């Protein structure tokens, strides 16, 4: 009899404990589920405070379009305090027009596939292009005939390429080294034909695998550099930093490579120091989009060179040598095919204060 009473008490206590656990778990799960629901952009502003006033974000939110409606709920990204996890959905430059031109957002008129200039107010667009062609927008991008939505609207990009503008240097506007029309301000060396087509610098290797460099006429000391390019593969090209302006004398500078190397294994964004080989090897092949445009960024300050590819930092090298030099676009033909071609759409530079 006493055993049955004690057993019943144990069972009752177990039921109570289990019920309490279920209640706590249910409440916690409900709160977490509620926290993950779309409720504006408050959860995004915790890390991305600048987006509170950013044009594209503000305008979309006013129409009821929050961040997660484009980028997904991105729960893991939101909970990653180390900022290593990407949002559920990200859109490369080549995907922006298609993403914006869906039937529930900016449906193109006339049966078109993409929302285009024809869908805008023609007078306003003409005035906008007249004012901004050849100049840099506040988002650091230039306006061309084939610009995507985010070139003109807002500063909707959270990348390390933008972060390199901050620091101790005085804020200075980006300046376009390439005017989008001709090669004014540039001079070539070597046996490569450099032309401008559709607002782009276009180069193909010379006959017999000959190489060449297109140099700026001006020299630069400390600066931030951003070069937007597209290439057909296989290719070996690159961007010279602080070169001499002569192909045989370029060894006084360093070169950011545009290539796929097998021995040693390295990819675009690696840094080559003449006479020493690769001083910095990018081992991430996935950072480059071989089907679209890419941006190489560099911070050149003193003997320190920091490199990014499409907003992802490759690393830092120290390179002794000249404190001033020219910027050069390089292409060689030893490993090229008949279809190998390099196109450069933008070359932007921001001068920095000289380091002590």
Neighbours of 202 (CB within 10 A): 15
DSSP string of 253-312, one letter each residue? SEEEEESEEETTEEEEEEEEETTTEEEEEE--GGG--TTS-EEEEEEEETTEEEEEETTE
Write out pLDDT tens, residues 22-79.
444 444 444 444 344 446 888 887 778 778 777 788 888 888 888 888 888 888 777 7
Q: Which of 82-86, 129-133, 203-207, 223-227 has the lowest mean pLDDT?
A: 82-86
Q: Tell me, what's the pLDDT at 337?
A: 65
Arithmetic mean of pLDDT, 206-227: 89
**Number of alpha carbons in the 13 Å side-chain half-sphere of residue 333:** 17
Q: Tell me, what's the pLDDT at 22?
A: 47
Domain spans in the chain, listed from the N-terminal domain onward: 1-36, 52-152, 171-351
Arithmetic mean of pLDDT, 85-103: 79
Report percent pLDDT > 70 for the chain.
Answer: 75
Torsion angle defined by CA atoms of residues 189, 192, 196 and 202, in that order, rounded to the nearest 10 degrees: -120
CATH superfamily of 171-351: Exo-inulinase; domain 1 (2.60.120.560)
Is residue 345 over pLDDT 70?
yes
Q: Does 48 or 278 have the greater pLDDT score?
A: 278
Q: 201, 182 in Cβ contact below 8 A?
A: no
Sign of CA dihedral 239, 245, 251, 253: negative
Measured between alpha carbons, how far is 232 from 237 in angstroms, rounded to an integer? 11
Please state, in angstroms and as integers, the Cα–Cα distance from residue 229 to each residue in 177, 186, 189, 270, following that order: 14, 17, 20, 16
Write out pLDDT tens, residues 233-274.
889 999 999 998 776 555 568 999 999 998 889 999 999 998
Q: 270, 281 in Cβ contact below 8 A?
A: yes
Measured between alpha carbons, how far is 329 from 269 in angstroms, rounded to an integer? 14
Q: Tell me, what's the pLDDT at 157?
A: 64
In what helix (H) or strand (E) does residue 30 lie, and over which residues does it extend? helix 2-36
Write out pLDDT tens, residues 156-212.
765 443 344 444 444 457 899 999 999 999 999 888 889 999 899 999 887 777 889
């Amino acid at each position: 009899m006493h055993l049955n009473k004690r057993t019943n008490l144990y069972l009752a206590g177990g039921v109570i404990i289990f019920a309490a656990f279920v209640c706590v778990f249910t409440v916690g799960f409900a709160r977490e589920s509620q926290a993950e629901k779309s409720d504006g952009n408050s959860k995004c502003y915790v890390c991305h405070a600048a987006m509170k006033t950013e044009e594209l974000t503000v305008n979309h939110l006013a129409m009821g379009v929050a961040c997660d409606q484009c980028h997904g709920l991105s729960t893991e990204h939101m909970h990653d305090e180390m900022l290593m996890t990407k949002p559920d959905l990200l859109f490369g430059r080549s995907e922006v027009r298609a993403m914006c031109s869906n039937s529930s957002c900016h449906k193109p008129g006339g049966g078109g596939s993409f929302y285009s200039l024809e869908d805008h107010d023609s007078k306003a667009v003409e005035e906008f292009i007249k004012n901004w062609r050849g100049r840099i927008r506040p988002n650091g991008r230039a306006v061309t005939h084939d610009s995507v939505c985010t070139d003109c609207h807002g500063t909707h990009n959270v990348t390390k390429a933008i972060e390199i503008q901050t620091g101790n240097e005085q804020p200075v506007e980006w300046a376009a080294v390439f005017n989008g029309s001709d090669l004014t301000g540039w001079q070539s060396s070597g046996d490569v034909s450099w032309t401008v087509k559709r607002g782009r610098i276009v180069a193909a290797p010379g006959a017999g695998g000959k190489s060449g460099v297109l140099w700026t006429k001006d020299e630069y000391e400390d600066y931030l550099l951003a070069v937007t390019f597209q290439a057909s593969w296989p290719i070996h090209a690159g961007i010279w930093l602080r070169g001499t302006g002569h192909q045989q004398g370029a060894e006084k500078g360093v070169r950011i490579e545009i290539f796929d190397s097998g021995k040693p294994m390295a990819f675009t964004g690696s840094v080559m120091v003449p006479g020493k080989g690769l001083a910095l090897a990018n081992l991430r092949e996935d950072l480059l989009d071989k089907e679209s445009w890419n941006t190489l960024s560099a911070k050149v300050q003193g003997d320190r060179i920091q490199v990014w590819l499409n907003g992802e930092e490759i690393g830092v090298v120290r390179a002794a040598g000249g404190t001033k030099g020219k910027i050069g676009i390089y292409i060689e033909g030893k490993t090229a095919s008949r279809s190998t071609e390099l196109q450069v759409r933008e070359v932007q530079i921001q001068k920095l204060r000289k380091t002590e």
